[in-house]
Amino acid sequence: MKMEIKEIITHKKEGWQVWRLLYEKDFVIVEWRNEEARKVDFMKIDLKEGKIDWEGISLEEDWWVGASAIADDHLYLYNFDEEEQVPKVRNIIAIDHHNGKVKWIKEGCQYLDAQNDEIQAIHPASGSYLLLAATDGRTLKEAQELPELQSTTTNVEENIHRYTETNPHFDTFKRFLSKSLHIHPHKQILYLEHKEGFTLSFYMEEDSSAKIYSHWLCTFSKGGDLLQKICLQAQTEEVSLDAFWSQENYLFYLVEKDTLVVNRI
């Protein structure tokens, strides 16, 4: 079967960067952060329809907050304790992922896991474990130990291999890129294998004296034919550890840090 790439959605959020992606079946929750404005925002993307279901969650705290997991019908967020020298996680905030509305908040607790409408949490102040009802956050059980739950959460995990210039595999892909595209990569190469092809990201030297590089992403068929070539960053001095992500048959990547692109591959 010939590998095809279909763009699902492209979304630009100027001044913001993707911090985390949480994947669940046919949708993904995106956590965006704006360091300058000190704000966090969330959105849900319907991958089947290629549209944004909702964007923005009304919270009292919109900076010291992050996403823990998706489980059942909920997106679980947490607060940081900003008064601590090393911020500690506090509070579980349950969001209805269908509409982005807050359903309940459990103060002083930290989310651990979830399964079958039950949440495993810890109360750091007392050191006790709690079993909570996902519907309303009420405590079902408190104990010193809780049975292990089988997680229903799926983060966007990538089976991506990272090769720096000292790795022998770097030279293998360098020869391939030189022969197929007349490209001479630098710094590192990220490699992800698909069922019918593979994706590479790499850096090209733009200004050797200033150590300025451009950052690229290319997807190839299994036979080595180029299917797409995308410039992720036109000029950068930094090496990104997270150039792209993959889950099932979806490829996620950022262009100039503030534009999220999702492809079906």
- The pLDDT, as a whole number, for residue 87 is 67
Tell me which residue of 177, 178, 205 sits closest to 191, measured CA to CA. 177
> Higher model confidence: residue 179 or residue 125?
179
Interatomic CA distance for residues 101 and 117, integer angstroms: 18
In this predicted model, what pLDDT tens digit does every residue of 23-63 receive, in sequence order?
988 999 999 999 999 999 999 999 999 999 999 998 888 88
pTM, 2 dp:
0.86
Fold of 6-143: Lipocalin (2.40.128)
What tens digit of pLDDT does each residue of 221-254 get? 999 999 999 999 999 988 887 789 998 889 999 9
The residue ranges of every structural domain in the chain are 6-143, 161-264
- Burial profile 229-257: b = 16 or more Cβ within 10 angstroms, e = fewer: ebebbeebeeebebbbbbbeebbbbbbee
Q: Which residues are CB-contacts of 160 (< 8 A; sequence separation ≥ 6)? A: 190, 191, 192, 244, 245, 246
